[in-house]
Structure 1
Amino acid sequence: MEDADLNALTAKIDQLIRLAEQLRTENHQLRSSERQWREERARLIEQNELARHTVESMISRLKALEQDS
């Protein structure tokens, strides 16, 4: 193998190593972001359920007041 071919191969390997590291970093960031979005989604679902129960309770109380009248 000639020096030029070896140098080109070495350069391509170095480039692939840099790309792999870049992709690993990006993947880590995306997984972290996904985890944060999932946590926020779970929190919002919980808040929505709490609000729904509160509204249902208020409606029940209003119906009870209406029947008492």
Structure 2
Amino acid sequence: MTEAPHNDPAEQTLRELESRVEALVQFCDRLQEENRLLRQENEQLRSERAVLSERGEQARIKVESMISRLRSMEQAS
């Protein structure tokens, strides 16, 4: 029995398929890592947004309080 030569079309097709599958696996790995990083960044941005929103709300309350005090002072004089 003889071995199939390296230039056998079936062997060549199999090697090409293996190469393409390996490239696809590497591509999926890169996408998973990119997705993980994007999710992490998204979570960080959501946290920052919540902090900024809270600060904005606190500033609004302080400004409204100052306006009320100024109006009270104005009416008192």
TM-score over 0.5 for the alignment? yes
TM-score (norm. length: structure 2): 0.87
Structure 1 unpaired stretches of 5+? none
* Partner residue in 1 for 2:3: none
Structure 2 unpaired stretches of 5+? 1-8
Q: Report the structure number with the largest CA radius of gyration.
A: 2
What is the aligned-residue RMSD (CA, Å)?
0.9
Q: For 1:5-38, what per-residue CA distance to the aligned partner results, in whole angstroms no more than 9, with x for missing partners?
A: 0000000000000000000000000000000111
Asked which structure has the greater RCO (Cα within 8 Å, sep 6+), the reply is: 2
Equivalents in 2 of 1:15, 1:36: separation in Å?
Answer: 32
Q: Which runs of 4+ in 1 moved over 2 A?
A: none
TM-score (norm. length: structure 1): 0.97
Paired residues in the alignment total 69
More helix by share: 1
